[in-house]
Chains A and B, each alone.
Chain A
């Protein structure tokens, strides 16, 4: 079967750095997405990786290793507003999106 694994919950301190991991086992790979979802709100697009390496966008970076079936989202200079769930999703060989259950990130002052 197809599977996406993410930690259920993480806690970090304001101003610090946190890394949220995502490992996947899918039938093929055509790209990986990260979305942010605040409680009660719509998931919003953060990043997309299709080639190995690091993609940086301001305070957020996303890394992909296709050979290891692994990605991470790196959040720097954490702010209270970064408290949210972070969803990892992989496009399989049929271009269907396979979703992880999400990681709830709690930021403490």
Chain B
């Protein structure tokens, strides 16, 4: 058991491709997150799920589509991406999300390095 895992670790795709990123957490947490990390920029929160329900969507373009089939798995479906979407995509989990008023630490996966050609 390795906490939070992400696959694939690296992905190169064309602008017309469809691909999916997968995240799995083995910590029994109730909340899961998708972040985008670009060089020299703060982490950008994309989506938050709490108990499999989406609680936050920070105005992310519709070419990114999240899915949370259960509290352990999170997907990010990608289609018709743009070159500016190239970044490191991080998944994280925490015991609760912020709507619970908690101060829980978030545990991160190693990320998927995405390159859009």
Point out residues on A near B: beta carbons under 8 Å: 4, 8, 30-31, 33, 35, 40-45, 48, 50, 87, 89, 91, 94-102
Contacts and interface: CB of A to CB of B under 8 A. Distances in A.
Contacts of B106: 45, 97
B interface bracket (residues with beta carbon within 8 Å of A): 20 to 34
A50 B103 contact: yes
Given A33-B105, A35-B108, 11 more contacts: A4-B42, A8-B40, A41-B111, A42-B4, A42-B109, A44-B108, A50-B103, A87-B43, A95-B102, A96-B98, A102-B42
- Interface on chain B toward A: helix, strand, loop, or mixed SS? loop
B116 interface: no
A7 to B, nearest CB: 12
Contacts of B110: 40-42
B95 to A, nearest CB: 13
Interface of B: 4, 40-43, 45, 90, 98-99, 101-103, 105-111, 113
Contact of A30 (B42, B90, B103): B103
A42 B108 contact: yes
Nearest to B6: A42
A4 B90 CA distance: 20
Nearest to A92: B98
B45 A97 contact: yes
Contacts of B103: 30-31, 48, 50, 91, 95
B43 A99 contact: yes
A55 to B, nearest CB: 14
B9 to A, nearest CB: 9
Contacts of A98: 42
A35 B90 CA distance: 14
A89 B98 CA distance: 14
